[in-house]
Amino acid sequence: MSRVGRKPIPIPTAVKVSIEPGAVEVHGPKGKLRQIVPRGVRCELNDGELWVRLVREDRSLGKFQGLARSLVANAVRGVSEGFKRELDLVGIGYRAELKGRQLVFALGYSHPVVFDIPPEIDVTVDRQTHLTVSGIDRQQVGQVAANIRALRKPDPYKQKGVRYTGEVLRKKVGKTGA
């Protein structure tokens, strides 16, 4: 049995949930999301809480119950609060500039790097070296942040690159002469 899957999902008052066969549609103040639910799992709405249940008691379906509960809970949180991921550009001359729906980076290459922002995602450049990626879909926010980070991965030795705010870079342990 999944411990995560047995927890109910509290539904805020501003969020409306409609359950369809094989999917859950969530409407909120920030937008709407449709989350597909794996086979063998069904959702039930009771007293302002959403429960994720198994269609039949099968040991192999427990992992899907926890997965479905996490995905639907992320959709509910996304349409009510939203998600954000912050990135820092560390290095001399590293900076970002927002031009319409494109980010233009100076990352130490011989040319500027242009990154197209997907339509569902918002990116703000607070300072030239600090970015905030936000949106309602947790998976997409994380993927866009990872794609931006991949433009210049952080180097643990020189401490330069694009990194998540608060990320700690670790150096590999050297060989011993024993």
DSSP E strands in 91-139: the ranges are 95-99, 102-106, 113-116, 122-127, 130-135
**Distances, alpha carbon 61 to alpha carbons 41, 49, 51, 121, in Å:** 8, 22, 15, 33
Higher pLDDT, 51 or 1: 51
In the numeric block, which tokens belong to residue 139? 């998976």
- Indicate the DSSP class of residue 74: H
User: What average pLDDT score do residues 123-142 get?
Assistant: 92
User: What average pLDDT score do residues 54-83 get?
Assistant: 87
Residue 89, classed as helix, strand or coil, is strand
Q: Global pTM?
A: 0.84
Distance CA 95, CA 174 (A): 33
Distance CA 65, CA 108 (A): 46
When pLDDT is cut at 50, 70 and 90, the band that residue 2 belongs to is low
Distance CA 61, CA 63 (A): 6
Distance CA 99, CA 22 (A): 40
Residue with tokens 């794996």: 38
CA angle 70, 71, 74 (to 5 degrees): 85
pLDDT(87) > 80? yes
Higher pLDDT, 176 or 130: 130
* Pick from 52, 50, 61, 67: nearest CA to 9: 50
